[in-house]
Homo-oligomer: A and B are copies of this chain.
Amino acid sequence: MNDETIGSWLDQLASSAPAPGGGAAAAMHAAIGAALVSMVANLTIGKSAYAAHEEHAVSVRDRAEALRHKAIRLAADDAAAFTALMATYRLPKETAEQKAERGAAIRSATEAAAGVPLEIAATAAEVIELAESLPGRSNPNVLSDVAVAASSAVAAVESAAVNVEINLGSLRDAAVKEPLATALAEHLRVADRARTLVAEVRREINQ
């Protein structure tokens, strides 16, 4: 996705092509959130006024860069998992044996297709944790960008959640579904915290 132009990616997103779709959009939101966390850190690093925060800013920036690249990889994984899932629905289903094999293949591909947006949500939740660590420990002139980073990451978690849930809906095995649903609920709680962070930054800006 990194080498694609923004115009071409948006054209494909807008088209009726099966991918990119909501999963890739979620990954892009996470990448934007991570990039803005990096920006705030980069505008803190190397400035004498914020020397006390230098070490923290460097570690936040390095982690945010890793999360950004992970989000971009997950966008590709999401398209691959979706394509693989679509392929299982085209497996033969004439004999009882074929039906059983097809059913097992669909279940396993659906689980994989739920796993990728769950990882996107986890990545975005980590972006939120980095953003939460910045107010008071970074260049206050770009506090507004901390809020934009948090808002982007909320959209990432929420968009990813919808894509996890749509796949969980077609799984029957509680032993498979429950750990995925539990992990997702935790990421959604972090997103709720990010909404509070956005509100706090806006309150400070509007003082």
Q: How many copies does the complex hold?
A: 2
**A interface: dominant SS:** helix
User: Is A10 a contact of B26 with CB atoms below 8 Å?
Assistant: no
- A99 in the interface, Cβ–Cβ < 8 Å? no
How long is the Cα–Cα vector from A35 to B147 in the complex, in angstroms? Answer: 24
User: Is B14 a contact of A6 with CB atoms below 8 Å?
Assistant: no
User: Is B152 a contact of A25 with CB atoms below 8 Å?
Assistant: yes
User: Is B148 a contact of A25 with CB atoms below 8 Å?
Assistant: yes
Contacts of A33-88 to chain B: CB distance below 8 A? 34-36, 38-39, 42-43, 64-65, 68, 72
With a cutoff of 8 Å between Cβ atoms, the chain B residues found around residue A11 in the complex are 35
How long is the Cα–Cα vector from A154 to B205 in the complex, in angstroms? Answer: 19
- A95 in the interface, Cβ–Cβ < 8 Å? no
* Contact among B5, B32, B72, B169 for A29, CB-based, below 8 A: B32
How long is the Cα–Cα vector from A192 to B155 in the complex, in angstroms? Answer: 14
4 A-B pairs with the lowest CB-CB distances in the bound complex, closest first: A2-B7, A155-B155, A14-B38, A22-B148
